[in-house]
């Protein structure tokens, strides 16, 4: 009996992941939201995880009513810490590296090749759209907790009001990477999962929910939104 159990555990542990190699976020992965030019909120948003702006100053963290900064500040809307480029050392250098790592992650994810772009139930793999992507109602990711997805969107990414991304079969948000060339718009009351890597701006409209991270190269605007950093 002990031999059979040991063999079973070994067999499960050896199952390999499907999909492309994971995108390494490096230190950018320490934040639920990371932006270069600003993060704004229309209270009350709920964010689980750290948020940061760089090279922007703390004055570009708007709507959070944050505490006076040291190396970080806090806010009742954030279950984590707030960081900005003008906070006390070593925060500026830490954020400079995080922004560089964000750029590296975007280049990495955009540089992958191959993939089927025409699917509503997405199995693990690499997907590429040369224009805008619109999700009016539902998108399903089907795979295990080990599997990965990379979705390259050359244009804008738009989720309609009350739309959702559904994870089945054990799929997890931290293994889904969206890399978007245009603006990201998450509609009111919608729910999306994954790591959003944006070359421009992102907006989460009223009541929108993200299970993942928003890491963009300009600004993030939250309108009574909820962002939960995946474990």
pLDDT in tens, the chain (231 residues): 443 333 333 333 345 688 888 999 999 999 999 999 999 999 999 999 999 999 999 999 999 999 999 999 999 999 999 999 999 999 999 999 999 999 999 999 988 865 434 347 999 999 988 888 999 899 999 999 999 999 999 999 999 999 999 999 999 999 999 999 999 999 999 999 999 999 999 999 999 999 999 999 999 999 999 999 988
Angle formed at CA 50 by CA 67 and CA 175, multiple of 5 degrees: 165
Predicted TM-score (pTM) of the model is 0.87
Residue 176 placed within a domain: yes
Residue 9 placed within a domain: no
Residue 73 placed within a domain: yes
Q: Tokens 């948000």 belong to which residue?
A: 173
Residue 71 placed within a domain: yes
Cα dihedral 138, 17, 48, 108 sign: negative
Q: Which residues contact 190 (CB under 8 A, 6 or more apart)?
A: 159, 160, 161, 162, 163, 164, 205, 208, 209
Residue 5 placed within a domain: no
Structural domain range at position 32: 26-228
Residue 116 placed within a domain: yes
Residue 60 placed within a domain: yes
Domain count, the chain: 1
């Amino acid at each position: 009996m002990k031999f059979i159990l040991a063999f079973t555990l070994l067999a499960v542990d050896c199952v390999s992941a499907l999909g492309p190699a994971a995108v390494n976020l490096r230190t950018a992965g320490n934040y639920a939201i990371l932006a270069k030019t600003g993060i704004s909120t229309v209270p009350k948003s709920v964010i689980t995880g750290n948020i940061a702006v760089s090279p922007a100053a703390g004055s570009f963290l708007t709507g959070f009513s944050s505490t006076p900064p040291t190396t970080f500040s806090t806010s009742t809307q954030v279950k984590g810490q707030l960081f900005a480029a003008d906070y006390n050392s070593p925060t500026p250098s830490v954020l400079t590296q995080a922004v560089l790592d964000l750029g590296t992650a975007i280049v990495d994810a955009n540089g992958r090749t191959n993939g089927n772009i025409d699917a509503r139930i997405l199995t693990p793999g690499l997907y590429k759209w040369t224009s805008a992507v619109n999700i009016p109602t539902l998108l399903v990711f089907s795979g295990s907790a080990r599997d990965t997805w990379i979705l390259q969107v050359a244009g804008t990414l738009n989720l309609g009001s009350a739309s959702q991304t559904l994870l089945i079969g054990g799929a997890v948000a931290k293994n889904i990477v969206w890399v978007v060339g245009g603006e990201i718009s998450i509609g009111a009351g919608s729910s999306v999962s994954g790591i959003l890597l944006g070359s421009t701006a992102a907006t989460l409209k009223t009541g929108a929910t993200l299970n993942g991270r928003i890491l963009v190269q300009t600004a993030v605007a939250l309108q009574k939104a909820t962002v939960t950093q995946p474990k």
